Homo-oligomer: A and B are copies of this chain.
Amino acid sequence: MSLKGMSIISIRDMEKEHLEEVIRVAGEVKRGKHKNFLKGKVISTLFFEPSTRTRLSFESAAKQMGAEVIGFAGSDYTSVKKGESLGDTIKTVSGYCDLIVMRHHLEGSARYASEVASVPVINAGDGANQHPTQTFLDLFTIREYFQDFSSLKVAFLGDLKYGRTVHSLAYALSLYKTTIWLISPDLLRMPQFLVEELRANGSSVREIDNLEQIQETFDILYVTRIQRERFGDPQEYMKVAGSYRITRGVIESLGKNIKIMHPLPRVDEIDFDVDTMDNAIYFKQAHNGIPVRQAILGLVLGTI
Interface positions of A (Cβ within 8 A of B): 42, 44, 47, 50-53, 55-57, 59-60, 63-64, 68, 70-74, 76-85, 87-89, 91-93, 95-97, 264-267, 272, 275, 283, 286-287, 289-290
* Across-interface contacts of A265 in B (CB, < 8 A): 79, 82-84, 88-89
Q: Which residues of chain B are within 8 angstroms of A92 by Cβ–Cβ distance?
A: 53, 264, 283, 286-287
The smallest C-beta distance from A280 to any residue of chain B, in angstroms, reads 11
Are A42 and B63 CB-contacts (below 8 A) given A56-B96, A264-B88, A265-B84? yes
By beta carbon, the residue of chain B nearest A267 is B83
Q: In the complex, which of the residues B59, B77, B283 contacts A70, with contact meaning CB atoms closer than 8 Å? A: B59
* A93-B64 Cα distance, complex, nearest whole Å: 14
| Copies of this chain, tallied across the complex | 3
30 contacts between A and B (CB under 8 A): A42-B63, A42-B64, A44-B56, A50-B76, A52-B72, A52-B77, A53-B79, A56-B70, A56-B93, A59-B70, A60-B96, A63-B70, A64-B68, A74-B76, A79-B264, A82-B267, A83-B265, A83-B267, A84-B267, A85-B266, A87-B272, A88-B265, A88-B266, A91-B283, A92-B264, A92-B283, A92-B287, A95-B283, A95-B286, A96-B287
Contact B68 A73 (CB under 8 A): no
Cα A82 to Cα B269 with chains together (Å):
13
Shortest C-beta distance, A200 to chain B (Å), equals 34
Q: How far is the CA of A57 from the CA of B72 in the complex (A)?
A: 12
CB of A43, distance to nearest CB on chain B (Å)? 10
Chain B residues contacting A88 (CB-CB under 8 Å) are: 264-266
What separation, in Å, do the CA atoms of A88 and B97 have in the docked complex?
A: 32
Residue of B nearest to A91 (CB): B283
- Residue among A93, A96, A287 with max Cβ neighbours from chain B (10 Å): A96
Given contacts A96-B56, A265-B88, contact A73 B72 (CB under 8 A): yes
Query: What 15 new A-B contacts, CB under 8 Å, besides A51-B79, A79-B265, A96-B289?
Result: A42-B63, A50-B77, A50-B81, A52-B78, A53-B92, A56-B71, A60-B96, A63-B68, A64-B68, A74-B77, A83-B265, A83-B267, A87-B272, A91-B283, A95-B290
